C-alpha cells in the first residue's frame, strides 16, 4: 500500500506545493483546509483548524478513508502585521489557535498512528521563529513556539522511532502576506523563494531525515547578522516598515 501523508493548509501556497510533490513521489495525499483545493488530491477534508471539534472531525474522516499515516505536515498558518500596542485580542487568539495549537492538537491526535508506522512529523516554522521582526511580534512568538515544540517533541519521540523535521522558511511568494491579519502593510523583500523549489528541498530533507532546514538557505546569514548585531538589525528593520508605510 502507498504511504500516506496528511497536510494541513493544503488549498494554497506551500501546502499545495507539498501535496503535489508528495503525490509525484508516490504518496497518497490527504489535505485539510477551509476551502476546497483547485487541484487533484486523493482526499480533502474541509475543516477550520482553529477549532478542536474540527480537528476531531479530521481524525474521524481520515481513518474512514485510510488505515495508516506515515507523514503529518503541520503547515496551516496565518500572519499578523500589527504593533503589540494595537494588536486585537481576537486576532492574537486566532493566530495562536492556528499557528501553535493546531500543530500541537493535530500531532497529539495522530501520534499513535505515527508511532505505528515509525512515521514522520514535519512542522512548518519560519525565519520569524529564529529572528524577531518588529510589528510581527505575535507571529514570531507563534513560530518561536513551534521551534521549541519541534525540538522537544523530536527528543521525546526518539524511543518510538518517529522523526520530527522543522522547517525554517523565509519569504516565499504565496499570497500569505495579503491574507495576514492586522492593519500594517509589510515591507517588500528583494528576493523570495518558490513554493515548488521549497517542496523539492523539503522532500530531500525528509528522505535524509534532517532535523531542521532553512529555505531559502541564505536566510541563515540574515538570522546570524540579526543575532550578532541586534541594534543595527533593529534600525534597518524599523526603517523598512517606515518605507512600506510610505507606499500604501
Ligand X SMILES: NC(=O)c1ccc[n+]([C@@H]2O[C@H](COP(=O)([O-])OP(=O)(O)OC[C@H]3O[C@@H](n4cnc5c(N)ncnc54)[C@H](OP(=O)(O)O)[C@@H]3O)[C@@H](O)[C@H]2O)c1
3-class DSSP state of 192: coil
Binding mask 36-75 toward ligand X (x if CB under 6 A, else -) reads ------------xxx------------------------x
Instruction: Provide the 10 A C-beta neighbour count for residue 22.
Output: 24
Residue 1: Cβ-neighbour burial (10 angstroms; 0-12, 13-18, 19+): exposed
Rounded-to-integer distance, Cα 179 and Cα 175, Å = 7
Q: Which is nearer to ligand X, 163 or 171 (CB)?
A: 171
Q: Which is nearer to ligand X, 104 or 115 (CB)?
A: 104
Is 139 part of the annotated catalytic residue set?
Answer: yes
Residues between 162 and 201 that touch ligand X (CB under 6 A) = 169, 171-172, 174-176, 179
Binding mask 78-117 toward ligand X (x if CB under 6 A, else -) reads x-------------------x-------------------
H runs (alpha helix) in the chain: 13-24, 52-65, 89-96, 102-117, 137-157, 195-207, 219-228, 230-247
Residue 112 C-beta: closest distance to ligand X, Å: 23
Choice from 19, 21, 33, 105 touching ligand X (CB under 6 A)? 33
Rounded-to-integer distance, Cα 157 and Cα 112, Å = 11
Q: Contact at 8 Å (CB) between 76 and 15?
A: yes
- All three cell numbers of 66, joined, read 485510510
Is 143 part of the annotated catalytic residue set?
Answer: yes
Q: Which is nearer to ligand X, 67 or 108 (CB)?
A: 108
Q: Which residues bind ligand X (CB under 6 A)?
A: 9-15, 33-35, 48-50, 75-78, 98, 124, 126, 169, 171-172, 174-176, 179
Amino acid at each position: 500500500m502507498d504511504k500516506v501523508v496528511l497536510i494541513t493548509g493544503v488549498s494554497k501556497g506551500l501546502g499545495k506545493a507539498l501535496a503535489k510533490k508528495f503525490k509525484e513521489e508516490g504518496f497518497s495525499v490527504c489535505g485539510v483546509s477551509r476551502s476546497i483545493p483547485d487541484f487533484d488530491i486523493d482526499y480533502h477534508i474541509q475543516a477550520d483548524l482553529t477549532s478542536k471539534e474540527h480537528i476531531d472531525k479530521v481524525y474521524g474522516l481520515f481513518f474512514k478513508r485510510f488505515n495508516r499515516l506515515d507523514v503529518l505536515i503541520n503547515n496551516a498558518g496565518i500572519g499578523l502585521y500589527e504593533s503589540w500596542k494595537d494588536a486585537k485580542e481576537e486576532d492574537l487568539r486566532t493566530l495562536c489557535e492556528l499557528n501553535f495549537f493546531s500543530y500541537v492538537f493535530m500531532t497529539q491526535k495522530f501520534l499513535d498512528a505515527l508511532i505505528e508506522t515509525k512515521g514522520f512529523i514535519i512542522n512548518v516554522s519560519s525565519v520569524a521563529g529564529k529572528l524577531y521582526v518588529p510589528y510581527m511580534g505575535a507571529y514570531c512568538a507563534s513560530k518561536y513556539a513551534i521551534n521549541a515544540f519541534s525540538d522537544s517533541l523530536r527528543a521525546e519521540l526518539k524511543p518510538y522511532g518517529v522523526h520530527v523535521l522543522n522547517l525554517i522558511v523565509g519569504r516565499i511568494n504565496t499570497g500569505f502576506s495579503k491574507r495576514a491579519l492586522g492593519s500594517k502593510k509589510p515591507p517588500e523583500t528583494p528576493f523570495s523563494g518558490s513554493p515548488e523549489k521549497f517542496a523539492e528541498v523539503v522532500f530531500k530533507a525528509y528522505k535524509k531525515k534532517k532535523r531542521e532546514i532553512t529555505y531559502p538557505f541564505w536566510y541563515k546569514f540574515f538570522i546570524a547578522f540579526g543575532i550578532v548585531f541586534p541594534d543595527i538589525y533593529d534600525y534597518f528593520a524599523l526603517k523598512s516598515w517606515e518605507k512600506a508605510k510610505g507606499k500604501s
